[in-house]
Amino acid sequence: MRQESEIPVRVRQAVIGGPKPLICIPLVAAEKNELFDQAAEMVSLGPDLLEWRADGYRNIADIADGMDVLTALRSRIGDTPLIFTCRIAAEGGMQPLPQPDRLRIIQAAIRSGAIDLVDIELINDAAFIEGVRDAAKSHGVKLILSAHDFNTTPPADVIIAKLSQAQARGADVAKLAVMPTDYADVLTLLTATLRARSEVVKIPMITISMAGEGALTRLAGGLFGSDITFAAGRVSSAPGQLPIDALRQAMSLLYA
């Protein structure tokens, strides 16, 4: 039996950190119509959550100038919980943005009332994190603090320290994604996840080993303490994401 989070997070009908890990599908689109078409298609597949990777949206400044895009997106996804992510370029963001612009966009998304969680990176400075954290708390939006390494898998103690740091800095959910160079790295990620859940981290966690070698963590990571896994929608947002139907079928055998 998997170990649940001591402090689960409830967003709409979903419980992050509960009895079963959840499946999230990312929305990655450059244009409004493409975004809405994707959203309708992905909702029909029945994910537990959706994530809008807004850093891939061409007219991203529109989000700060008005709420029309987010309001319309919410109307298309109904009651499906939505993560808003405007990823920093240094950790895989799809376009460079000055930090003041990123902060303005993220805070506008939080104020929109259309999102349920917001994902920002631990590498942001303290003022940036505090600005997002305070806005999220004021508007009932849950905060994901994340770290990404697209080159290597650090030692287990470093992974645990990153997850602990996210918790200490006020995250509702701690996230870490790393790149394996071999299957030993995959075991390092899973071992660190289990230790973090058992020893240190009380909030929900998302831990991912990317690329082909790391596919196991997307299927079985929940057994070790990871609470959300990401499936590929029409467009993948990270290396190694699996189609939702295949992922759900495999997970049904593990979490029956």
Cα 99 to Cα 8, 33, 87, 123, 210, distances in angstroms: 31, 27, 11, 12, 27
pLDDT at 66 over 70: no
- Domain boundary assignment for the chain: 9-249
Crossing angle (nearest 10°) for helices 215-224 and 183-195:
20
- Are the C-beta atoms of 110 and 79 separated by less than 8 Å? no
The pTM for the full model equals 0.94
Handedness of CA 215, 218, 220, 226 (dihedral sign): positive
Q: According to the model, what pLDDT value does residue 239 have?
A: 54
Q: How large a percentage of the chain has pLDDT more than 90?
A: 82
Task: Name the more confident of 66 and 228.
Answer: 228
List Cβ neighbours of 251 (8 Å cut-off, separation of 6 or more): 21, 23, 219, 222, 229
How high is the mean pLDDT of the chain? 93
**Class (C level, CATH) for 9-249:** alpha beta
252 falls in which pLDDT band (50, 70, 90)?
confident
Q: According to the model, what pLDDT value does residue 255 have?
A: 82
Residues annotated as catalytic are: 148, 175
Q: According to the model, what pLDDT value does residue 61 have?
A: 82
pLDDT at 234 over 70: no
Which two tokens mark 225? 């303490």
- Tokens 């740091």 found at: 165
SS3 77: helix
Q: According to the model, what pLDDT value does residue 1 have?
A: 73
Q: According to the model, what pLDDT value does residue 240 have?
A: 59
Report pLDDT digits (tens) over 123-132. Answer: 999 999 999 9
Task: Name the more confident of 241 and 200.
Answer: 200
pLDDT at 93 over 60: yes
